Chain A
Amino acid sequence: RKEVEQDPGPFNVPEGATVAFNCTYSNSASQSFFWYRQDCRKEPKLLMSVYSSGNEDGRFTAQLNRASQYISLLIRDSKLSDSATYLCAVNRLISSGTYKYIFGTGTRLKVLA
C-alpha cells in the first residue's frame, strides 16, 4: 500500500460543476500537507498548503482530517483551465532533523465545455 494514495481518475466534469478530491495518508507522523497542480508534461506547482483549520483560496477549498488521515480539495465553479492533474503531498520527519516529502500519484481532472 502506498503511503499517500489518490484516486487516479480521470474525473470528467462539466464547466461550472463542483468537484472534490480526497487523498489519504498512512503515516500519522505526517505534519505538513499540500496540493500541487501539474499540467501535462509540466512541473508541479503549488496550488495551496493545507492547514489544520482548513483554508480557502478563491474557488478552491482544502481540508485536513487528522483523525481519519486524509486531505481534501474542493473546486467550485470549475473552469476549463482547471483541467490538470492534482497531486497531494505530505511532509514528515524521517530521522533527527531530516524530513521527507511524499507525493500521491495524482488525480486527473478534465473539465468539459
Chain B
Amino acid sequence: EAQVTQNPRYLITVTGKKLTVTCSQNMNHEYMSWYRQDPGLGLRQIYYSMNVEVTDKGDVPEGYKVSRKEKRNFPLILESPSPNQTSLYFCASSLQGDLSGANVLTFGAGSRLTVL
C-alpha cells in the first residue's frame, strides 16, 4: 500500500531530551515536508526537501533539524525540545515539488508530541 509512515504516533517527553520523529514513504516521491498543526494557526511548514541531500527551511524551522540521506526517509529531529514544540506533526510527500500535475501531497497519520 502506498503510504507515508510516521513514528512515533504519540510521544510525551521532557524539556531538553532529544528526540527524532521518523518519516518514510514507499512511493519514490522526490518531495518531502514536515508540518506542525496548532489550533487557530493551521498547518505550518517546518522544513522541506526537494530531493536527496536537498533540504530547506520552511516557515517555522527554529528548534528543528532534518536530514535527507535517502529518498524514502526524512526524519525530524528536536535536539532540545521545549514546551512550545508541543504540537501535532505531519510528514507529507509528493512525486515532485514543482507545479506539475504530480504535486499532490500525501500525508502521514500524524505524530502528537507533548513536551513537559
Interface residues of A (CB under 8 A from B): 8, 31-32, 34, 36, 41-46, 49, 87, 89, 91-93, 97-101, 103-106
Most chain B C-beta atoms within 10 Å of own C-beta, residue among A31, A43, A87: A43
Q: Is B79 an interface residue (CB 8 A)?
A: no
Do residues B33 and A101 form an inter-chain contact, with CB atoms below 8 A?
yes
When distances are taken between beta carbons in the complex, the residues of chain A under 8 Å from B105 are 34, 36, 44, 46, 89, 101
Contact with A along B89-116 (1 / 0, CB 8 A): 0100000011101011111111010000
Do residues A98 and B97 form an inter-chain contact, with CB atoms below 8 A?
yes
Known: A42-B110, A100-B45, A105-B40. 14 other contacts (CB 8 A): A34-B105, A41-B112, A43-B107, A44-B107, A46-B105, A49-B101, A49-B104, A87-B42, A97-B98, A99-B98, A101-B33, A101-B105, A103-B35, A104-B42
Nearest B residue to A45, CB-CB:
B107
Q: Is B50 an interface residue (CB 8 A)?
A: yes
Nearest B residue to A32, CB-CB:
B99
Complex Cα distance, B101 from A43, in Å, reads 21
Complex Cα distance, B37 from A87, in Å, reads 12
Residue among A36, A42, A87, A99 making CB contact with B109, cutoff 8 Å: A42
Q: Is B19 an interface residue (CB 8 A)?
A: no
Nearest B residue to A2, CB-CB:
B42
When distances are taken between beta carbons in the complex, the residues of chain B under 8 Å from A103 are 35, 42-43
When distances are taken between beta carbons in the complex, the residues of chain A under 8 Å from B107 are 43-45
Do residues B43 and A31 form an inter-chain contact, with CB atoms below 8 A?
no
Nearest B residue to A48, CB-CB:
B104
Shortest C-beta distance, A72 to chain B (Å), equals 19
Complex Cα distance, B106 from A45, in Å, reads 7
Complex Cα distance, B88 from A75, in Å, reads 28
Chain B 54-78 interface residues, beta-carbon cutoff 8 Å to A: 56, 58
Residue among B43, B56, B101 making CB contact with A44, cutoff 8 Å: B43
Q: Is B41 an interface residue (CB 8 A)?
A: yes
